[in-house]
Structures are given as structure tokens and as C-alpha cells.
Copies of this chain bind each other. A is one copy, B any other.
């Protein structure tokens, strides 16, 4: 019978746990709570938050908040999600006089601070990450015209001083590959490289890399729009392990996989996957392993 191995840590990352606890604290305090963008990349969790009355709004639509009356503003709050927000929008909200629940992750704050300092010291800053990701947009906002999004064979020669940072959820291997590409392009006068990958993300990636080599099947649990979950899937596949990616415990049945035929099954989860989801996967998997 199949043995199940759970990669740790699992469930929400510490940043999200803190964010959700902050939001929880003020659910009774405010009548209207808005979140700028989706709080996290997990549609089911988002649905739960919406049920509680939290509305997801887009940055471009925030102006209505300024038109609220003084009394309405008192009972309204805006959540800044863990990915952070541009300095410009934050200033705007502050000027609105609206309540702000800032849940920006500490690791994102750190990379923004590094970016800002690099800019002040005259560096051009290369961000290794996904240009469309909200975190990268936040970081960019601290760099004005000094940001370069990494791509292969970008010509760095015209920039004498270059700083390099990574999106906090980037895979370590991808960062390494990007750095080697930069080095191969010839040396700027000064090159400054910061390890800004979140230690928890790093630990999950490391665990998946290790576990995928030991088990016969890897199940990665997380939202299909979660970048860090996507990376765990890629890492498991790269290690040569048969890998499935599910969002919920129920999805397991869809695959029609004879789970009990596998000797060892590994489970890992993205940072925006609640612990309960993972527990449900384990529960359902145990059923599958014994029933089928």
C-alpha cells in the first residue's frame, strides 16, 4: 500500500497567515472592506473572503473611495495585499483619508527597500521575475526609470553599476541561471547581487526537489494562478517525478489514478494554499489508496 509523505512547511506561509489575521481583526471594526487586487492566488479562498463581505477592487477603480462621506470613510477600510503596492497608490489612499490595512509581506518590503537604496546609490536594478506579477510591479514603483526586467541576453554593458534582485517567490535555480547569463555578458564596473528569495519559498522548493527524487508520484496542491505553486510543479517534474497539480482535495478523483499502485506518494503545497486543503487531500488520498 502506498505511503504518503508530506513536504514541510505546508499551508499558508507566515506572511499570509499574518495578513489573514490582520484582516480578521478588523472584520468587525469596519462595515466595508475592500482589497486592492486578489488577496492571494487561490480562487476558493477568495470566494470565502467574498462571502465574508470583502470586495476585491482594481487599482484603477479606487477613486470612488475619495467620494465617500467622512462618516462612510470611518467605517471603510482598504487592504493592501502581501504583494505590496506602488508608493503612488499608497500615497493616494493616504490622501483619501481612508483606513488602510497594510499586509505587505516583510520579505517584499525588504526587496523594495534594497531596490530603493540601490537606486539612490546610482545603480540600475535588474529584477529577475515575472514583469506581470503584482510584486514585481510594486518593486518597480520604487525604481522610477532605473528598473530593468531580466531577460536572456539583455545588453547590460551600457550600465556601469548594476544591482540584481529577485522576485521573492522565484525558484533558486532560475535566479542562478539569470545571474550566470548576466556574468557571461561581460562585467559592469560593479555588480551587486542580493538574495531576495523568501526563505520559506526556498525551503518548500528544496523539500520538493528532495522529495520528488524519493517518491513515485508528487501531488502539488495550490491555485492554478499561483506562481509559486507553478514553480513547485516545475521543480518536481524537472526532478523526473510523475507530478499532478490539484487545487482542491476533491480534484483528486478526476485524475482516475490508481494511487494504491504507487509505493511512495509525496504531497506539497504553494504558499497560498490553506492547511485544510492539504489535510483534505491527504484524507481523500488515504481513501483512494485503500478503496480502489
Q: A-side interface residues toward B, CB under 8 Å?
A: 172, 175-176, 179-180, 183-184, 186-195, 197
Contact = CB atoms under 8 A, between A and B. Distances in A.
A234 to B, nearest CB: 19
Q: Which 7 A-B pairs have the closest CB atoms?
A: A187-B195, A191-B193, A179-B183, A192-B192, A189-B195, A180-B180, A190-B194
A197 B188 CA distance: 11
Contact of A192 (B176, B183, B184, B191): B191
B188 A195 contact: yes
Contacts of A183: 176, 179-180, 183
A195 B175 CA distance: 21
Contact of A193 (B172, B184, B187): B187
A187 B174 CA distance: 12
Number of chain copies forming the complex = 2
16 contacts: A176-B183, A176-B186, A179-B183, A180-B184, A183-B183, A187-B195, A188-B195, A189-B194, A190-B192, A190-B193, A190-B194, A190-B195, A191-B193, A191-B194, A191-B195, A193-B193
Contacts of A172: 186-187
The interface residues of chain A, by DSSP majority, are classed as mixed
Given A180-B180, A183-B179, A192 B193 contact: yes
Contacts of A175: 187
Nearest to A195: B187
Nearest to A197: B187
Specify which of A176, A187, A189, A190 lies most central, judged by the most chain B CB atoms within 10 Å of its CB.
Answer: A187
A252 to B, nearest CB: 35
Contacts of A180: 180, 183-184
A188 B180 CA distance: 15
A207 to B, nearest CB: 16
A190 B163 CA distance: 10
Contacts of A194: 189-191
A109 to B, nearest CB: 16
A243 to B, nearest CB: 24
Given A188-B195, A192-B192, A192-B193, 12 more contacts: A172-B187, A176-B183, A176-B187, A180-B183, A187-B193, A187-B195, A187-B197, A189-B194, A190-B193, A190-B194, A190-B195, A191-B195
B176 A184 contact: yes
A184 B177 CA distance: 9
A158 to B, nearest CB: 14
A108 B70 CA distance: 66
A184 B175 CA distance: 10
A233 B184 CA distance: 23
Contacts of A195: 187-191
